[in-house]
Amino acid sequence: MGSHQGSSPRLNLVMLGPPGAGKGTQAERISRTRQLPKISTGDILREAVHDRTSLGCAAKEEMEAGHLVSDDVMIGIVQERLERADARKGFVLDGFPRTIVQANALDRLVNGRGPLVVLDIVVPEEVLVRRLASRRICGDCGSNAAVDWLVACGKCGGKLVARVDDGVAIVRERLGVYQRQTKPLVEYYSGRSTFRQIDGNLPPDIVTGAIDAALAEAAQRGVHS
């Protein structure tokens, strides 16, 4: 597997894809096989709030007031995370950017760090609705269940339970919100040589293979573009 390991270029990766597309599972796999930090904005937000950083406190205030966390706060939190030592060789970003303002900021943050590769995992809506309506989470730690967690949570061993917020009407509404939010981002990135769309309506291992091929090609193009 690792013929190019020694000289492997940096991989700065953004994962786009609707809820239920399998984005989290694939991001975990890339993180593991390439030894890069998987940076989920949900996780780093919780961490910043827990550690009471100034940005974490600002985010907590916004969330408690029922607002979406502002672009400025999200950009600051991601910037802090990307400056840590483990992200020097690259990263896998899941959940950021969500807006064009955030995408512009990310371009500035990775300037000089190698190409930014963007993968958009595409799955038909009716498949997403079916997947999400049967999705499970850990009753203890709240983690979304990965495909290969059959009865217990792969993180803490807790029991898997059905998600209560995944009724069909709610799922369709969440997907509608995602599409409205993300369409401008796909348009922002789609003209780049390092942008790839991946068919996520396939078994996870086949999706992983398609991602590996896309990453190899996109990284090569990015280096030479």
Is 108 tagged catalytic?
A: no
* Given the residues 60, 113, 135, 221, the one annotated as active site: 135
Q: Which of 29, 81, 174, 196 is catalytic?
A: 174
Active-site position among 10, 23, 38, 136: 23
Give the DSSP letter string of the chain.
Answer: --TTGGGPPPEEEEEE--TTSSHHHHHHHHHHHHT--EEEHHHHHHHHHHTT-HHHHHHHHHHHTTPPPPHHHHHHHHHHHHTSGGGTTEEEEES---SHHHHHHHHHHHTTS-PEEEEEEE--HHHHHHHHHT-EEETTT-PBPPTT-SSB-TTT-PBEEE-TT--HHHHHHHHHHHHHHHHHHHHHHTTSTTEEEEE-SS-HHHHHHHHHHHHHHHHHHHHH-
- For residues 52 and 68, the answer to whether their CB atoms sit within 8 Å is no
Residue 23 designated active-site: yes
Asked about 174 being catalytic, the answer comes back as: yes
Told to judge if 163 belongs to the known catalytic residues of this protein, a careful annotator would answer yes
Active site residue 136: no
60, 113, 155, 163: the active-site residue: 163
Catalytic machinery residues: 23, 98, 135, 163, 174
